[in-house]
Amino acid sequence: MRGVSIVGIGQTPVGEHWSLSVRHLAHGAIAAAMHDAGIDRADALFVGNMLSGSLLEQEHLATLIADFSGLRGIEAAKIEAACASGAAALRVGCMAIASGMHDVVIVTGVEKMTDTPSGSTTAGLATASDAEYEAAHGITFVGLNALIMQRYLYEYDVPMDAFAGFSINAHRNGANNPNAMFQRAIGLKEYVNAPMIATPINMMDSSPVCDGAAALVLVPSERASEFTVGQHRGPVQILASASATDTLAVHDRKDPLFLEAAYLSSQRAYLQGGITPDEIDFFELHDAFTIMSALSLEATGFARRGEGWRMAAEEEIGVGGRLPISTMGGLKSRGHPVGATGVYQIVETVQQLTGQAGKNQVANARIGMAQNIGGSGATIITHLLGV
Q: Using an 8 Å Cβ cutoff, are 5 and 234 in contact? A: no
Half-sphere exposure of 305 (CA within 13 A, CB side): 8
Stretch that binds another protein, among 23-31, 156-164, 250-258, 338-346 (CB under 8 A): 250-258
Smaller CB separation from another protein, 39 or 209 = 209
Show the CA angle centred on residue 242, arms to residues 112 and 332, nearest 5°: 40
- Write out the binding residues for another protein, residues 19-78 only, by CB under 8 A: none
CA dist list (Å): 170 to 44, 167, 299, 302, 321 = 34, 5, 20, 18, 13
3-state helix, strand, coil in the chain (%, to 5): 40, 20, 40
Tell me the C-alpha distance between 134 and 132, whole Å: 6
Q: Is 73 left (phi over 0), alpha (psi -120 to 50) or beta?
A: left
- Write out the binding residues for another protein, residues 134-163 only, by CB under 8 A: 134-140, 142-144, 146-148, 150-151, 154
CB of 66 to another protein, least distance (A): 32
- Contact between 271 and another protein per CB under 8 A: no
CB of 150 to another protein, least distance (A): 5
Smaller CB separation from another protein, 233 or 251 = 251
Smaller CB separation from another protein, 73 or 195 = 195
CA dist list (Å): 294 to 291, 310, 330, 373 = 5, 8, 14, 13
The pair phi, psi for residue 107, each rounded to 5°, is -115, 130
Q: Give catalytic status of residue 83 as yes or no.
A: yes
Stretch that binds another protein, among 41-49, 77-85, 125-133, 355-363 (CB under 8 A): 125-133
Interacting residues of 59 by C-beta distance below 8 A, sequence separation 6+:
52, 53, 78
- Write out the binding residues for another protein, residues 85-124 only, by CB under 8 A: 118-120, 122-123
CB of 12 to another protein, least distance (A): 26
Smaller CB separation from another protein, 99 or 199 = 199
CB of 181 to another protein, least distance (A): 18
Smaller CB separation from another protein, 58 or 120 = 120
Stretch that binds another protein, among 69-77, 218-226, 248-256, 343-351 (CB under 8 A): 248-256
Selecting among 83, 94, 171, 210, the annotated active-site residue is 83
Q: Using an 8 Å Cβ cutoff, are 237 and 222 in contact? A: no
Nearest residue to 111 via CA among 204, 208, 218, 202: 208
Cα-Cα end-to-end distance for the chain: 19
Nearest residue to 286 via CA among 371, 379, 369: 371
Tell me the C-alpha distance between 101 and 158, whole Å: 50
- Single residue of 196, 274, 277, 304 touching another protein by CB under 8 A: 196
Nearest residue to 334 via CA among 155, 165, 182, 133: 182
What does the radius of gyration of the chain's CA atoms come to, in whole angstroms? 19
CB of 170 to another protein, least distance (A): 20
Stretch that binds another protein, among 13-21, 182-190, 245-253, 369-377 (CB under 8 A): 245-253
CB of 146 to another protein, least distance (A): 4
CB of 250 to another protein, least distance (A): 7
Selecting among 27, 171, 286, 336, the annotated active-site residue is 336
Q: Give catalytic status of residue 137 as yes or no.
A: no
Stretch that binds another protein, among 26-34, 171-179, 197-205, 229-237 (CB under 8 A): 197-205
Q: Which residues are known to be catalytic? A: 83, 336
Chain residues binding another protein by CB under 8 A are: 118-120, 122-123, 126, 131-140, 142-144, 146-148, 150-151, 154, 195-201, 247, 249-252, 256
